[in-house]
Amino acid sequence: MLRGESITYPHPALEEVLKSTYGVTIYQEQVMKIANVIAGMNMAEADNLRRAMSKKMAEKMAKMKDVFIRGAGEKGISKRKALAIWDSSGSSRSTASTNPTRSAMPSLHTERPI
């Protein structure tokens, strides 16, 4: 992101969830919150989504995607927009998002004294 460039969010409700990471889904907790805010999943369902992602369970992910799209539709979000949010949240990727502690660790090891 360039200085002065504005951040765009796939849906206005995601600003609070993604603001700290400049509009990019990085953490598993963000995926869970997106599932809650956009699709109305309770946190147990969102945790099942997180678990399916981290274990790369394709069949379960396909079922969770249907639940996500249906839930988003019940909140007035079009299927097209819900699919875009699903794709941008990392839910469709085969690699799992990390938790904040794990994602911070590589940055701690990249700094070297001069």
Q: What is the DSSP letter of 76?
A: T
Percent of the chain that is helix, strand, coil (3-state, to 5)? 65, 0, 35
Question: Does residue 3 sit within a domain?
Answer: no
Q: What is the DSSP letter of 105?
A: H
User: What's the pLDDT tens digit per position in 43-91?
Assistant: 999 999 999 988 989 999 999 999 999 999 999 999 999 999 998 887 6
Q: In the structure, what pLDDT confidence band is assigned to residue 30 with cuts at 50, 70 and 90? A: very high
Question: Does residue 105 sit within a domain?
Answer: no
Higher pLDDT, 97 or 72: 72
Question: Does residue 19 sit within a domain?
Answer: yes
Q: Are 7 and 23 in contact (CB under 8 A)?
A: yes
Parent domain of 82: 12-97
Q: How far, CA to CA in Å, does 112 sit from each of 13, 102, 105, 107, 109? A: 39, 19, 14, 11, 8
Helix H or strand E segment including 88: helix 79-88
Q: What is the total count of domains within the chain?
A: 1
Tell me the mean pLDDT in the region 86-107: 57
Which pLDDT score, from 0 to 100, does residue 86 have? 93
Q: In the structure, what pLDDT confidence band is assigned to residue 22 with cuts at 50, 70 and 90? A: confident
Question: Does residue 26 sit within a domain?
Answer: yes
Tell whether the model's pLDDT for residue 3 goes beyond 80. no
